[in-house]
Chains A and B, each alone.
Chain A
Amino acid sequence: GENVEQHPSTLSVQEGDSAVIKCTYSDSASNYFPWYKQELGKRPQLIIDIRSNVGEKKDQRIAVTLNKTAKHFSLHITETQPEDSAVYFCAASSGGGADGLTFGKGTHLIIQP
């Protein structure tokens, strides 16, 4: 089955700086890679996703890149703000069926004022 590794487990950055979270996956059949943000006591919420036919996708301060050959994908947050503090999860799925998502173990992002 799919295995998703996520690094780092904790990331502390100064407000206004950029944050990068990296994930690798093992199953070459995976073709859908979402990122979720989870605030304390809340549900995971989708913030951005990318499919295997695209190398990069951007939405305002958030971008995701995908390297299919290396089976790597990364989340980039620019101009970080205090409200970006949360746990971020990457995930992978074969996407087309009812396979569900395989999650990384999460990154606790701390934005220092």
Chain B
Amino acid sequence: DTAVSQTPKYLVTQMGNDKSIKCEQNLGHDTMYWYKQDSKKFLKIMFSYNNKELIINETVPNRFSPKSPDKAHLNLHINSLELGDSAVYFCASSQSGTGNGYTFGSGTRLTVV
């Protein structure tokens, strides 16, 4: 019974294409995030949503657009993919006000060729 699930697990696509990654959590958390892990393993936050409202939008190209239809789902759409977008993207969730419970999804390995 996976707590934070992401699809797809692997994504190989050509430069210039548009792709989406989906994330769902069944923990009842009110906050969801997208993190990017680059080839050097550095984990950096991209976005956070609290109750469907965008809270954090780090310096990310506007080709990346998150969408949260409800507090259990946070999707990431990427337009005009570039080689430098190749990375592992992790979704995570937590419950605000408690300061704990950050749980990560299994990741989506995006390869742009």
Bound: A99/B50 CA distance, A? 10
Is A61 on the interface with B (CB-CB < 8 A)?
no
Find out whether the CB atom of A44 lies under 8 angstroms from the CB atom of B90: yes
Q: Which of A32, A44, A95, A98 contacts B43 (CB 8 A)?
A: A44
Q: Give chain A nearest CB distance to B96 CB in angstroms.
A: 5
Contacting residues of chain B (63-113) with chain A, CB-CB under 8 angstroms: 90, 94, 96-97, 99-100, 102-107
Once the chains bind, are B56 and A89 in contact (CB under 8 Å)? no
The yes or no answer to B27 lying at the interface (CB within 8 A) is no
The number of A-B residue pairs with CB atoms under 8 Å apart is 63
Taking CB atoms, residues of chain B closer than 8 Å to A100 are: 33, 35, 45, 48, 56
8 Å CB interface, A62-113 against B: 87, 89, 93-103, 105-106
The one of A44, A45, A93, A106 that contacts B99, using a Cβ cutoff of 8 Å:
A93
Shortest Cβ distance from residue B43 to the other chain A in the assembled complex, whole angstroms: 4
Docked-complex contact A46 and B102, CB < 8 angstroms: yes
Instruction: Tell me how far the C-beta of A34 lies from the nearest C-beta in chain B, rounded to whole angstroms.
Output: 7
Q: Is A98 a contact partner of B104 (Cβ separation < 8 A)? A: no
Contacts A51-B99, A95-B99, A98-B50 given; does A42 touch B44 at CB 8 Å: no
CA distance A32 to B100 in the complex (A): 8
B interface footprint on A24-64 (CB within 8 Å = 1, 0 otherwise) = 00000001101000100011111001010000000000000
With A89-B43, A102-B45, A103-B43 as contacts: A97 and B105 at CB distance below 8 Å: no
Which chain A residues border B105 with CB–CB below 8 Å?
43
Asked if A31 meets B104 with Cβ closer than 8 Å, knowing A89-B43, A98-B49, the reply is no
Interchain nearest-CB distance for A102 vs B (Å)? 7
Q: Hey, which bits of chain A sit against chain B, CB under 8 A?
A: 31-32, 34, 38, 42-46, 49, 51, 87, 89, 93-103, 105-106
Chain B interfacial positions (CB closer than 8 Å to A): 31, 33, 35, 40-45, 48-50, 55-56, 90, 94, 96-97, 99-100, 102-107
**Cβ-closest 4 pairs across A and B:** A95-B99, A98-B50, A100-B45, A98-B31
